[in-house]
Structure 1
């Protein structure tokens, strides 16, 4: 995975995921995000692959952008097309997926703890706070 910064879209996997979001019809975009959350949550206590975690974080950033206090996704690596209004029911699974990403059995967490882990975790927690508070 090529990573150049700590943001939700600052890696190759998230940039590729953005393309998948753009390619989905407007009425299916929410389902693409929901699937990313479900894939992470359904790992349970098993080891969480970093690519799944990255897609869940990118999805959470897109949902949080539509919440009060959320920051818009303005990076060139995010989706190019505007998202329709996303259902509020995506917020709880987004929170659950972010919580799962920050558990010990998470490859992405392990990778970040080898470098700028605290700053990265703070960004994930900020997304979580926006989603949980909405």
Structure 2
């Protein structure tokens, strides 16, 4: 796997996933994102989670978060170019997938251990914060 930075789209697996979304028909894109998230969210806590599944799930969660209040745009050169449907309904599934990625045994979590992984962990933490439900009336804040 080639990884060139710590962002959600900055590895070969995530870039390929986004390319697959671009090649899919408009009516298929939500199902592809849902499927990628479900594979990881549904993985048993004691099953070893392989990094390719996690890389796809982190990218998919970033696409969902981009549509949520406080989310950062998915404007990476490796993010999908084609329009995506409304993915906000996948917010809970995306959060569950990220929670599983960040729970041992997780190959991606192991790969980003140590000080070199601080930036990646910060990206994932930011996505989790955006995806986390807010009480009614509470606004999203970066502070």
**Residues 96-117 of structure 1: CA distance to partner in whole angstroms, max 9, x if unpaired?**
0000000120000000115522
What is the match of residue 117 of structure 1? 117
What is the match of residue 130 of structure 2? 130
Q: C-alpha displacement at 1:131, in angstroms?
A: 0.9
Q: Secondary structure at the match of 1:69?
A: coil
Partners of 2:102 and 2:118 in 1: CA distance: 11
What is the match of residue 21 of structure 2? 21
What is the match of residue 80 of structure 1? 81
Partners of 1:97 and 1:76 in 2: CA distance: 24
Unpaired runs of 5+ residues, structure 2, are: 135-143
Partners of 1:73 and 1:105 in 2: CA distance: 28
Aligned-residue CA RMSD (Å): 1.3
Larger Rg: 2
Partners of 2:38 and 2:69 in 1: CA distance: 24
Unpaired runs of 5+ residues, structure 1, are: none
Q: C-alpha displacement at 1:84, in angstroms?
A: 2.2
Q: C-alpha displacement at 1:33, in angstroms?
A: 0.7
**Which structure shows the bigger proportion of residues in helix conformation?**
1
Partners of 1:115 and 1:29 in 2: CA distance: 35
How many residues align? The count is 133
TM-score, normalised via structure 1 length: 0.94
